[in-house]
Amino acid sequence: MDRVPIGTWLFMLIPALGTYIAAIYYYVNYNE
Amino acid sequence: MEFNYMIIGFLIIYFLILLFTGFLASKNATSIEDFFLGGRKLDAIMLSFSVSSTGMSGWLALGFAGYAYEKGFQSLWIMVPSATIGILLCYVLISKRIRLYSELTGSITITEIIKKRFYDDNNALTTVFSIILSAAAIIYVSGQLIAIGKLLNILLDWNYHISSIIAAIVMIIYTVLGGFTAVCWTDFIQGALMIAGSFIAGSLAIQYAGGIGSFTQKIVETNQVFPEFAITPFSSFDALIMGISLFIGDGILNWIGQPTLMVRYMASKDTKSLTSAPLITIAIQCILFMGIFIAAIYMRTQFPEPMLLPYSGDTETVLIQFFITMMHPILIGIFVSAILAAVMSTADSLFMMATSVLVNDVYNYFRPRASQKHLILISRLVTVFLGIIAVIISMNKSSVLWSSWLGWTTLGIMGMPVIVGLYWIRATKQGAISGLISGFTVLVFWNIFGLTEKLNIFHALPSCGIAFIVTIVISLFTSKPPDHIAEDLKSIDKLRDKKRNVEVFEVK
């Protein structure tokens, strides 16, 4: 391989963003 | 050497701050609940720092850094869930429930919760739990002492054994002085240091590499010469299997099952802080992991083989060597304090945990009329005793990564029956005992026969998985728990539904 595959970056980004959005959802919905 | 004096100066100041914090906190520890739960006063920020500091340890600074150096992006299977999904699940699934249950039943330790949830009248479950927990804490702390020994050995050229002993003495003194409040305050200081150290390390590594574009290019070049240094977590089928077992076993099950973290949720000020804490904790975890990961990967691109490393071929010391090679002595002092912070904060928490189990649940069972003052005294003596055993084990200079993982997974197993019990009315005492013993047995055999390497499956997945499943299966085959257990669990659900954002119980 001549560069770091895009899947590697997505493997980091998607869980990080997904989890943070879920954490915000949790915070908003349980602190009404 | 001037370099050494500056670093030693830093370390002395750092240790003095820790001891002073322990001393201040000790003035406030007047009851056993203060000593173990800090009077339930942790707000979201304190809680987040405490959870991160406790979870990360020397495992991150030495063990994980070495793993990232050797395996490259394969280490994402550990980093991604431990920084994100695992943490969120801890809070969403466990924290509120255990906080409410602990207050409802007046429990201040995890074993008390177990005792009440599993109606452990004859102390059988508590005894099994206490023994395994104390063993886990000792193994884990010894892993931390190995980390400090390696750190001071390479940095100051001190004797490895003496370094470990000095670290243990400092750790024991301030844990003994202040109990949980001291541990949480020092967790806060240590967490802040770790974040600063990790952030600066990652930023400097990218800068030294000549920017992100140049850095990724170097990573690819290293991979072309050394294919075991992966540039993707999906490099082979074997890597994928190992990765998935690490993701679920270490990244999720081990995190949600941690009794040390459960104690922190129980010490939170109110349930509201448990909903805001995930946001802060995830941010902290991401910074910590990314900084260490980037620095370790950078070291691999610069020194692609362990024998090329400037100070030692021990890959667990890559981060320390990064600091020594790249930085000014003052910065090194800060970073070393950060690594020590990571090591000490986890070790002291585990000391507290094991102490609380042995004193509150075993000693107090045999001497129920002991006064609060007497119990605190005994707690302090037990901490000293555990520290001595951990020091003795650490004299054998082994891997920080695997010592910590062994202790951490043992702790993870302990949480499985607790989780089942908090969610499922039908869970029984016999189920919990069987779950604990079978999970621990699988872990021991998995390591004795080296099945992690042979089957390519990380030990946490089978051992925590078995503990979880056996708890459920045996519960189904044994008689139902008493009615008041079901009532307790139902009342938690009602409280959660009705008073989501209101502080449910009065803070003491």
- The whole-angstrom separation of Cα B486 and Cα B479 is 14
Helices vs. strands in chain A: H and E counts, helices first: 1, 0
Average pLDDT over residues B148-161: 87
Bigger pLDDT: B122 vs B506? B122
Q: Which two tokens stand for residue A28?
A: 């908003």
Q: Where are the domains of chain B?
A: 2-400
Determine whether the interchain pair A16/B216 forms a contact, defined as Cβ–Cβ distance below 8 Å: no
Chain B residues within 8 Å of chain A (Cβ atoms)? 73, 76, 79-81, 83-85, 87-88, 91-92, 216, 219-220, 223, 231-234, 272, 275-276, 278-279, 282, 286, 500-501
Chain A residues within an 8 Å CB radius of B92: 26
- The whole-angstrom separation of Cα B138 and Cα B160 is 19
pTM (2 decimals)? 0.89
The predicted-structure confidence for B370-416, as pLDDT tens digits, reads as follows 888 888 888 888 888 888 999 998 888 788 899 999 999 999 999 99
- The whole-angstrom separation of Cα B415 and Cα B290 is 28
The predicted-structure confidence for B255-287, as pLDDT tens digits, reads as follows 999 988 998 899 888 888 899 999 999 999 999
Q: Give which of B155, B142, B146 is closest to B312, Cα–Cα.
A: B155
Bigger pLDDT: B251 vs B181? B251
User: Which residues lie closer than 8 Å to B115 by C-beta, 6 or more apart?
Assistant: B107, B123, B125, B126, B361
Q: What is the pLDDT of residue B173?
A: 79
Q: What is the pLDDT of residue B504?
A: 46
Average pLDDT over residues B59-73: 94
Is B28:B34 a contact under the CB 8 Å cutoff?
Answer: yes
Determine whether the interchain pair A16/B286 forms a contact, defined as Cβ–Cβ distance below 8 Å: yes
User: Which residues lie closer than 8 Å to B114 by C-beta, 6 or more apart?
Assistant: B120, B125, B126, B129, B417, B418, B421, B432
pLDDT band at B508 (very low <50, low <70, confident <90, very high): very low
* ipTM field: 0.95
Residue B370 phi, psi (nearest 5): -65, 140
Bigger pLDDT: B33 vs B347? B347
Average pLDDT over residues B177-200: 76
Q: What is the pLDDT of residue B435?
A: 97
- The whole-angstrom separation of Cα B435 and Cα B61 is 32
| Cβ–Cβ contact A6 with B under 8 A | no
| CATH T-level assignment (fold) for domain B2-400 | Sodium/glucose cotransporter (1.20.1730)
